[in-house]
């Protein structure tokens, strides 16, 4: 089998999407309050675990559902569209990390991790960004050797999505010299940047509730602090730059599903509203139906086209990867080309929610309105990796031979 060969059946895919729709009902019930308070509702964690979605991406050979990229995107779309985008984004962190670890981890580490997910429904938070330069920086978080094959981890991760609900936390840290000093050489510093996987309740881990944004407020993206956290040798999961980054599809597609769900949510909300809305007596007539207005029909059609275009890009990219056609792409371009799917979804969410706000009218900007929340949540996609400007820059440099 190839890296992205599809092992689930159409019936299994339908079942997983149906499970997501059922879980989405629970997300929806708590979404308004969660957005207002800016907190992830932790009472949803056991509900999510009971659904079996924790093992969505775990291969069947390890006891999981073995979902492919397109199925993952569909599940995330369902949760975001019918449930809540921000809450979905939080649980989405787990799927991002499981997908990355499918092909990155050594077999013994992978088997041990997947067993916890399958048997215990363990959920993962994966904070890899730091205040200095986000995801693109070399980790300032340090792993100081303890003299017994393990390390003491110290540092801070300021984009720790789902950290309050996780059973496992995985992160990047730079291994220091024995005396705690970082190497002077940039190349050696980069080579020592490593991935670790530890229990979320490890001593020395604390959470600062720093999350206060206008977008994705219910995602619970707090700050995770490591204060000389003891880490054993078997927690080492390999190099970061040549390991995790090489699995960019498992970052792109789950995020793409979330933002496709926002676009779908915004479109559905405005379509259903416009199809029923009547203005009554106006200067234009006795009982003006909004749906009979020409520009309304035109802009709604434009919104549907944007939604459909993004879905075709995501599905088409998934098909290319399943067929192994990405082997023809220049290696330096692969992460960027894959990320086009996430960019398409993000832009669709932004454009469709904008059209929906314009067509709905002034009521749409009331704080807490479902469409107002979708409009705000759509904007967070521009920051998730790989960001659009990074993708465009990478592709442009590669095509012009700048990378050498």
pLDDT digit string (tens) for 13-25?
A: 999 999 999 999 9
- By mean pLDDT, which of 256-270, 276-290, 340-354 is the weakest? 276-290
162-176, 220-234, 279-293: least confidently modelled range: 279-293
CA distance 370 to 376: 10
| Residue 5 or residue 374, greater confidence | 374
For the cut 80, the answer to whether the pLDDT of residue 294 exceeds it is no
Tell me what the pLDDT averaged over the chain comes to.
92
Asked if residue 385 has pLDDT above 70, the reply is yes
Burial of 186 (0-12, 13-18, 19+ CB in 10 A): exposed
Q: How confident is the model at residue 3 (pLDDT cuts 50, 70, 90)?
A: confident
Task: Indicate if the pLDDT at residue 404 is higher than 80.
Answer: no
What number of residues does the chain have? 404
> How many Å apart are CA 2 and CA 231, to the nearest integer?
34
For residues 231-243, average pLDDT: 86
Of 92, 355, 126, 52, the closest CA to residue 218 belongs to 92
Q: What is the mean pLDDT of residues 207-229?
A: 96
Which whole number is the average pLDDT over 147-162? Answer: 95
Residue 374, pLDDT above cutoff 70: yes
Is residue 167 over pLDDT 70? yes
Please give the pLDDT value at position 134.
Answer: 60
Reported as a single tens digit per residue, the pLDDT across 43-55 is 999 999 999 999 9
Average pLDDT value for residue range 76-100: 97
Report the pLDDT value the prediction gives residue 277, as an integer from 0 to 100. 64
What residue ranges in 36-160 does DSSP mark as E strands? Answer: 124-125, 142-145, 151-160
Answer yes or no: is pLDDT of 196 > 90: yes
Calculate mean pLDDT across residues 323-331.
94
pTM above threshold 0.85: yes
Examine the pLDDT at 133 and tell me if it is beyond 80. Answer: no
Confidence bin at 314 (pLDDT 50/70/90): very high
pLDDT of 142 over the 90 cut: yes
C-alpha 260/C-alpha 254 separation (Å) is 10
From residue 312, how far is each of 160, 277, 401 by CA, in Å? 31, 31, 30
Among 233, 235, 70, 222, which residue's Cα sits nearest to residue 150? 233
CA 338 to chain centre: 14
pLDDT at 283 over 70: no
Look up residue 46 and give its two tokens.
């056991």
Q: Is 184 exposed, middle or buried (0-12, 13-18, 19+ CB in 10 A)?
A: exposed
Cα 363–361–40 angle (5° rounding)? 50
Type and span of the H or E element at 186: helix 186-192
Burial of 263 (0-12, 13-18, 19+ CB in 10 A): buried
* Confidence band of 135 (pLDDT split at 50, 70, 90): low
Residue found under tokens 């330096």? 332
Neighbours of 62 (CB within 10 A): 16
Q: Of residues 126 and 361, which shows the higher confidence score?
A: 126
**pLDDT level of residue 140 (50, 70, 90 thresholds):** confident
Of 88, 23, 103, 20, the C-alpha closest to 58 is 103
Per-residue pLDDT band at 186 (split at 50, 70, 90): confident
Q: Which residues contact 198 (CB under 8 A, 6 or more apart)?
A: 153, 168, 169, 170, 229, 231, 235
């Amino acid at each position: 089998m190839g890296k992205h060969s599809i092992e689930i059946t159409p019936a299994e895919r339908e079942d997983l999407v149906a499970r997501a729709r059922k879980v989405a009902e629970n997300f929806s019930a708590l979404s308004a309050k969660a957005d207002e308070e800016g907190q992830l509702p932790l009472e949803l964690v056991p509900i999510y675990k009971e659904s079996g979605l924790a093992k969505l991406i775990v291969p069947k050979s390890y006891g999981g559902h073995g979902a492919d990229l397109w199925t993952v995107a569909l599940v995330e779309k369902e949760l975001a569209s019918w449930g809540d985008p921000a809450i979905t984004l939080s649980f989405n962190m787990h799927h991002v990390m499981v997908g990355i670890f499918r092909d990155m981890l050594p077999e013994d580490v992978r088997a041990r991790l997947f067993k916890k997910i399958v048997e215990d429904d363990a959920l993962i938070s994966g904070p890899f960004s730091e205040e200095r330069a986000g995801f693109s920086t070399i980790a300032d978080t340090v792993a100081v050797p303890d003299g017994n094959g393990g390390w003491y981890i110290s540092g801070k991760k300021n984009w720790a999505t789902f950290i309050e609900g996780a059973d496992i936390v995985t992160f990047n840290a730079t291994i220091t010299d024995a005396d705690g000093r970082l190497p002077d050489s940039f190349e050696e510093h980069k080579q020592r940047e490593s991935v670790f996987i530890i229990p979320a309740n490890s001593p020395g881990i604390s959470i600062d509730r720093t999350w206060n944004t206008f977008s994705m407020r219910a995602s619970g993206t707090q700050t995770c602090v490591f204060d000389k956290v003891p880490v054993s040798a078997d927690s080492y999961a390999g190099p970061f730059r040549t390991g995790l980054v090489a699995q960019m599809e498992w970052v792109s597609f789950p995020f793409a599903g979330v933002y496709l769900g926002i676009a779908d949510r915004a479109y559905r909300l405005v379509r259903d509203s416009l199809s029923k809305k009547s203005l009554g007596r106006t200067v234009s007539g006795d009982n003006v139906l909004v749906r009979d207005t020409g520009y309304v029909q035109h802009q709604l059609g434009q919104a549907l086209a944007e939604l459909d275009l993004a879905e075709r890009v995501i599905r088409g990219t998934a098909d290319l990867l399943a067929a192994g056609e990405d082997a023809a792409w220049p290696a330096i371009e692969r992460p960027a080309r894959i990320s086009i799917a996430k960019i398409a979804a993000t832009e669709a969410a932004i454009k469709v929610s904008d059209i929906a706000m314009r067509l709905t009218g002034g009521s749409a900007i009331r704080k807490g309105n479902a469409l107002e929340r979708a409009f705000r949540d759509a904007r967070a996609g521009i920051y998730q990796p790989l960001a659009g400007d990074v993708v465009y820059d990478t592709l442009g440099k590669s095509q012009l031979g700048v990378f050498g």
